[in-house]
Amino acid sequence: MLTLATTSPGEPEIFASLQGEGPSAGTPVTFLRLSRCNLACVWCDTAYTWHFEGDNRPHRIGETFARKANQVTLELPDIAARIAALGQKRLVITGGEPLLQAGALAEMLELLPDITVEIETNGTVAPPARLDIRVDQYNVSPKLAHSGNDAALALIPERLDAWASEPRAFFKFVIAAPEDVAEVLALQRRYRFRPGHVFLMPEGTDSASLRGREAWLAPLCLEHGFRLSDRLHIHLYGDTRGT
């Protein structure tokens, strides 16, 4: 079984849309959003996947969510059937942190042998071999200092070394202020991420905030040779579930 996020109480967050971020932006995909995370970003726009009642980790909206209304557990054949019914050739598995449920996820993907698989991860958890063999692309999003996470938890050297040597891995850094780019440059020097595999993405959950940050982020990408990622789904649908 897998524990999923919900779009509404009892309704799993499995949906077809366009990928909004990173190297596959604009591609028609099916999304599978899993619940639970081992980190706690203060600006997380999917806090309903982890910031449940009783969780005292800080988040800027100051809201916690009822676990029963925001989590649903489904059998693996049911999940696979829902994904197949949406008819997309590419599956994006996101969260939360999907690799916390790697074993069940691998078993579920064995029911979908012909689909291309993209996993979005914070980069702190190693994928086991049974899952790794099913994955075509990793979107690794290490969390910078402004996320509010302790670097000892969010930036694990042995994990970043492994991701840096993985040709399927792309790196997506959330940028809130120009000084965040200096932190990315330091990580680039340390881990030597592959050229063309590093994206800088503005933090924000509305078009105005994204456009405002992109105005100064685009020149920094040009200066340092990074790729710019927009958040297409925000412009198209707003900050809503199931999009």
| Tens of pLDDT, residues 63-100 | 899 999 999 999 999 999 999 999 999 999 999 999 99
Q: What is the CATH number of the domain that holds 161?
A: 3.20.20
Structural domain contains residue 229 = no
> What dihedral do alpha carbons 55, 57, 63, 69 form, nearest 10°?
-40
Structural domain contains residue 84 = yes
Q: How many CB atoms lie within 10 A of CB 133?
A: 11
For the chain, percent of residues with pLDDT exceeding 90: 98
Residue located via tokens 């969260």: 95
Residue 61, pLDDT > 90, answer: no
Residue 193, pLDDT > 90, answer: yes
Instruction: Work out the pLDDT band at 225, boundaries 50, 70, 90.
Output: very high
Total of domains in the chain: 1
Residue 229, pLDDT > 90, answer: yes
Structural domain contains residue 219 = no
Structural domain contains residue 106 = yes
Helix (H, G, I), strand (E, B) or coil at 140: strand
pTM exceeds 0.95 for this model: yes
pLDDT digit string, tens, across residues 22-48: 999 999 999 999 999 999 999 999 999
Helix (H) or strand (E) holding 29: strand 28-33
